[in-house]
Amino acid sequence: MSNLIKPKDYKALLDMRETEQGIKEIKEFFQQNLSTELRLRRVTAPLFVLKGLGINDDLNGVERPVTFPIKDLGDAKAEVVHSLAKWKRLTLAEYEIEPGYGIYTDMNAIRADEEMDNLHSLYVDQWDWEAVINKEDRTIAYLEDVVKRIYAAILRTEFLTCESYPQIKPFLPNQIHFVHSQDLLDMYPDLSPKEREDAICKKYGAVFVEGIGGKLSNGEKHDGRAADYDDWSTLSENGKAGLNGDILIWYPVLERSFELSSMGIRVDKAALLRQLKCEGQEEREQLYFHQQLLSDKLPLSIGGGIGQSRLCMVMLHKAHIGEIQASIWPEDMREECEKFGMPLI
């Protein structure tokens, strides 16, 4: 409950019926725009994968996946996905997708260790996408171009929402600002990573923070990233490490920075080996996914996830993600949210 933000004088702009209709319109419109911008085809995704193959996303390496035995497989263990970062790359290879094209899917996950607040739920829904690239595309310039395309789709979605519901007013800036996490540390050396994100987002409105996962000059990471999907250790053309990042906006409803997407150019063989060594996880080289990559059976790719409930929350100016999605919440949080005009579904 200590993390719950209770905006003063908050009042939802849409009732529950309008909210449900808005969610439908936003999801349909945005995914069509994303597909067109990045040349993605829709595919069907798993809810769970077999344990021990290295396919599930390890997030920060401490979150426990929901696990259950499969009777017909001799009680072999399955894990509910955290995300599909590595599964998508296997699928690109299976479907023989050409460079410049990719896939997207509806990803539904359970993150049982999530600390629940206005933005975090046990239930995670996002558009997971992945596209094949060429070796020469593994640059910060290519990454930033893709970010601009995604942000353009977000802006068009905001325009549609405001046209459909005139009581909602646009607030996103026309351009997204790019900054490396090391430069952010240099700008705000006395602030925590979260406080630095708040400061830069309040200044520019929409920001892509680059280079997340490796240690900065203060010996700390801006945020955690698994070693085996995003490439956070390769030096880019600007001389800084990291070909990944987060799309963040300043969200006036909660007066804080708000992450909409985590994405990046994926590891090649050299980056995978370097990052596993850096994290002391060399034993993972023997897992199925990692062997496929090290054996040149997977294409080079770029990919990420875009929060569905989060995007709808921003577009509809909601104060709590529980106003958008059905999930489980502590009873005292439900009561407190009701008191402050944030009825949870």
**Residues labelled as active-site residues:** 57, 111, 126, 246, 259, 262
Residue 95 phi, psi dihedral angles, 5° rounding: -85, -5
Task: Copy the structure tokens of residue 189.
Answer: 């050396």
**Rounded Cα gap, residues 149 and 91, in angstroms:** 23
Question: Could you tell me how many residues make up the chain?
Answer: 345
Residue type, 17: R
Which among 124, 129, 128 is positioned nearest to 112, based on CA atoms? 124
**Rounded Cα gap, residues 158 and 230, in angstroms:** 28
List Cα–Cα distances, 138 to 86, 237, 265, in angstroms. Answer: 18, 10, 7
**What are the percentages of helix, strand and coil residues in the chain, rounded to 5?**
35, 20, 40
Strand, helix or coil for residue 108: strand
HSE, CB side, 13 Å, CA atoms: give it for residue 270. 5
**Rounded Cα gap, residues 306 and 90, in angstroms:** 20
**Rounded Cα gap, residues 194 and 184, in angstroms:** 11
Residue type, 169: K
**Rounded Cα gap, residues 196 and 202, in angstroms:** 10
Confirm if 182 and 216 have CB atoms less than 8 A apart: yes
- What is the sign, positive or negative, of the torsion defined by CA atoms of 339, 341, 344, 345? positive
